[in-house]
Amino acid sequence: MTKWHGSLEKVDEYRWRIPRSYKAGMRVDGLIYASQSMLESITGEQAPEQVANVAFLPGIVGYSLAMPDIHWGYGFAIGGVAATRVRDGVVSPGGVGFDINCGVRLLRTNLTGEDVLPKIKPLVDALYEAVPSGLGSKGKIRLRPGEIDEVLAKGSRWAVEHGYGRSEDLASTEEYGEMAGADPASVSVRAKERGVPQLGTLGSGNHFLEVALVDHIIEPEVAGTMGINKIGQVMLLIHCGSRGLGYQTADDYIKQMMAAMKRYQIEVPDRQLACAPVESPEGQAYLAAMRCSANYAWANRQAIMHWVREAFCRVLGRCEADAGLELIYDVAHNIAKIEEHEVAGRREMLCVHRKGATRAFPPGHPDVPERYARVGQPVLIPGDMGRVSYVLVGTELAMKETFGSTCHGAGRVKSRTAAKRMLKGSDVLKSLEARGITVRAGSLPGLAEEASEAYKDVTEVVGVAQSTGISRIVARTRPIGVIKG
């Protein structure tokens, strides 16, 4: 790994600036949110260079931002936020990533560890059976020819209309699980072919299902609004995205934009930053297809949640109402959104790219569901599978500083290869079980790649988000059961 030798100026304890003088072509400064102790791993690789490269994008405003979970990605750093003006700026598929609308949803329950721990093994087995996971797995959903277009247009609503979950779930999903402006005609036949068999599958890699217990409540009143009421309460976490449909959509449009860049005479320092003006035909087509992929991901998580509820109730012998399996919220952390923000004292329409970053809107924002209007938008930050996860809320300061964005997870510190060399899947399994975590995984080497040791400590990451004020910590959960693809 090559160390980064660029210049980083300390703004305050948690803010580090890459001045635009660092590299000719940067249109704005870069700004990294991190503690002093996190800087070593951040500058130990080329992530700051990627933050600087993103600052080249035409129409970028404010800063090229990096959230505290920043790590080296491809093109954009993971943990990157970039806002470009709609009227004269660009949209970049690389600023969203291949797994469009990879995201997280969190369910509460009325049950506690005492109810669930005696049945944790059968529960984890039942969840593993109920939700197709791992490579090459086929979904249980059979679509009629052409029905994929309805999934792409309606997202979660398609799932609810087909018996996967309840209509009240929609109000607890970012964009209500149905992003407007999704045009199925903008999605290629190949992308649809990849999407059809994979609807309702978890996938592999860092995607997971988790059974967790609340182990710390920092803001009881806010937590109470979300139905997080007591220590030991059982929570369920689902992390996955848009599967092959999203990957193919990203491939298709990155390639198209590569050609379009020549026409629009745009130059960027990394081809993976390929982009086109937001208002160009290429930009609009990408956004329409990206929204379809986002809707597919929401339908996917909605269907998976339905099977999770069924399996949970079956194993615990409770009906759904009695188990209190309510969706707290669902967030997207790989997405681009057209949003209105204040730039230099003026309201401006922006294309906000969040690549491994979560929207974190404050109390009272019109896009925050009514039930959270007083507390702000819930932000879900999964840690690695051996440690803890957090629930946060968005803040006014995030609106002012980060275009209403915050971190999305722990952030890797070790490559997958390094993790596998250091650890054996079977040892990782044993050490998790020694910590009271029951695991079912499709692949043991895959498990080693996702071991705690490969990640930053998520507590440090959310600590920076809290200290800088770009979000507030509400509650913490600890896993007792993990299902990995």
Using the minimum distance from each CB to other proteins, give the nearer residue, 242 or 358: 242
Select from 125, 147, 183, 251 the one that contacts other proteins (CB under 8 A): 251
The reply to whether 131 sits near other proteins by the rule CB under 8 A is no
The reply to whether 99 sits near other proteins by the rule CB under 8 A is yes
Considering only residues 55 to 84 of the shown chain, the ones binding other proteins according to CB under 8 A are 71-75, 78
326: tokens are 């309510």
Taken in order 344, 345, 350, 356, is the CA torsion positive or negative?
Answer: positive
Phi, psi of 325 (to 5 degrees): -80, 80
Select from 270, 279, 310, 427 the one that contacts other proteins (CB under 8 A): 270
The reply to whether 97 sits near other proteins by the rule CB under 8 A is yes
Using the minimum distance from each CB to other proteins, give the nearer residue, 115 or 460: 460
The reply to whether 321 sits near other proteins by the rule CB under 8 A is no
459: tokens are 């507590």
The reply to whether 141 sits near other proteins by the rule CB under 8 A is no
Cβ 368 vs Cβ 129: under 8 Å: no
The reply to whether 164 sits near other proteins by the rule CB under 8 A is no
Select from 21, 136, 146, 434 the one that contacts other proteins (CB under 8 A): 136
The reply to whether 135 sits near other proteins by the rule CB under 8 A is yes
Select from 20, 26, 45, 151 the one that contacts other proteins (CB under 8 A): 45
The reply to whether 442 sits near other proteins by the rule CB under 8 A is yes
Cβ 295 vs Cβ 179: under 8 Å: yes
Piece of 208-216, 321-329, 382-390, 410-418 that binds other proteins (CB under 8 A)? 410-418
The rounded Cα 107 to chain-centroid distance in angstroms is 16
> Least distance in Å: CB of 416 to other proteins?
6
Cβ 482 vs Cβ 123: under 8 Å: no
The reply to whether 139 sits near other proteins by the rule CB under 8 A is no
Considering only residues 174 to 233 of the shown chain, the ones binding other proteins according to CB under 8 A are 190, 193-194, 197-198, 203-205
Piece of 2-10, 266-274, 307-315, 365-373 that binds other proteins (CB under 8 A)? 266-274
The reply to whether 449 sits near other proteins by the rule CB under 8 A is yes
Kindly report the three-state secondary structure assignment for every residue of the chain. CCCCCCCCEEEECCEEEECHHHCCCCCCCEEEECCHHHHHHHHCCCHHHHHHHHCCCCCEEEEEEEEEEEECCCCCCEEEEEEEECCCCEECHHHCCCCCCCEEEEEEEEEEHHHHHHHHHHHHHHHHHHCCCCCCCCCCCCCCCCCHHHHHHHCHHHHHHCCCCCHHHHHHEHHHHCCCCCCHHHCCHHHHHHHHHHCCCCCCCCCEEEEEEEEEECCHHHHHHCCCCCCCEEEEEEEECCHHHHHHHHHHHHHHHHHHHHHHCCCCCCHHHCCEECCCHHHHHHHHHHHHHHHHHHHHHHHHHHHHHHHHHHHHCCCHHHHCCEEEEEEECEEEEEEEEEECCEEEEEEEEEECCEECCCCCCCCCCHHHCCCCCEEEECCCCCCCEEEEEECHHHHHHCCCEECCCCCECCCHHHHHHHCCHHHHHHHHHHCCCEEEECCHHHHHHCCHHHECCHHHHHHHHHHHCCEEEEEEEEEEEEEEC
Of the residues 162, 239, 365, 408, only one is catalytic, namely 408
The rounded Cα 148 to chain-centroid distance in angstroms is 23
Using the minimum distance from each CB to other proteins, give the nearer residue, 184 or 445: 445
Piece of 80-88, 176-184, 412-420, 432-440 that binds other proteins (CB under 8 A)? 412-420
Tell me the number of residues near other proteins by CB under 8 A: 51
Q: Between the CA of residue 226 and those of 160, 229, 374, 376, what are the distances in Å? A: 22, 8, 11, 11
> Least distance in Å: CB of 136 to other proteins?
4
The reply to whether 134 sits near other proteins by the rule CB under 8 A is yes
Select from 15, 23, 318, 416 the one that contacts other proteins (CB under 8 A): 416
Piece of 165-173, 244-252, 339-347, 429-437 that binds other proteins (CB under 8 A)? 244-252
Query: Is there a catalytic annotation at residue 408?
Result: yes
Select from 170, 250, 285, 331 the one that contacts other proteins (CB under 8 A): 250
Rg of the chain taking only CA atoms, in angstroms: 21
Using the minimum distance from each CB to other proteins, give the nearer residue, 84 or 272: 272
The reply to whether 133 sits near other proteins by the rule CB under 8 A is no
Interface characters, 361-400, with other proteins (x: CB under 8 A): ----------------------------------------
Piece of 93-101, 177-185, 358-366, 375-383 that binds other proteins (CB under 8 A)? 93-101
The reply to whether 269 sits near other proteins by the rule CB under 8 A is no
> Least distance in Å: CB of 445 to other proteins?
6
The reply to whether 248 sits near other proteins by the rule CB under 8 A is yes
Query: Catalytic amino acids?
Result: 408
Which stretches of the chain bind other proteins, using CB under 8 A? Answer: 1, 45, 47, 71-75, 78, 94, 97-99, 134-136, 190, 193-194, 197-198, 203-205, 243-244, 247-248, 250-251, 254-255, 258-259, 270-272, 274, 412-418, 442-443, 445-446, 449, 485
